[in-house]
Amino acid sequence: MDELKKFREGKRMTQRQMASKIGVSLSYYRKIEQGENNPSYQFMKKLKDVFPKASVDKLFFK
């Protein structure tokens, strides 16, 4: 999930900060960002709730 990493880095946040901000565990967030797990609907919704201008399509669907 290179786009998710770029998005996070653009916000100047660590993985820990991003996970905390959107309300998921650090290990779960890392697995999403590294492409080991696919993001759940709840994950995408939480991200969108915190960052309303973020494009879920751009971040997760190429």
Q: Phi/psi at 58 (nearest 5 deg)?
A: -70, -40
Domain carrying residue 23: 2-53
According to the model, what pLDDT value does residue 62 have? Answer: 74
Please state the pTM of the whole predicted model: 0.90
Distance between CA atoms of residues 49 and 27, nearest Å? 20
How many other C-beta atoms are found inside a 10 Å radius of the C-beta of residue 61?
A: 8
Which CATH number is 22's domain given? 1.10.260.40
Residue 60 lies in a domain: no
3-62 pLDDT, tens digit per residue, is 999 999 999 999 999 999 999 999 999 999 999 999 999 999 999 999 999 999 999 887
Residue 21 forms part of a structural domain: yes
Res 1 pLDDT > 70 = no
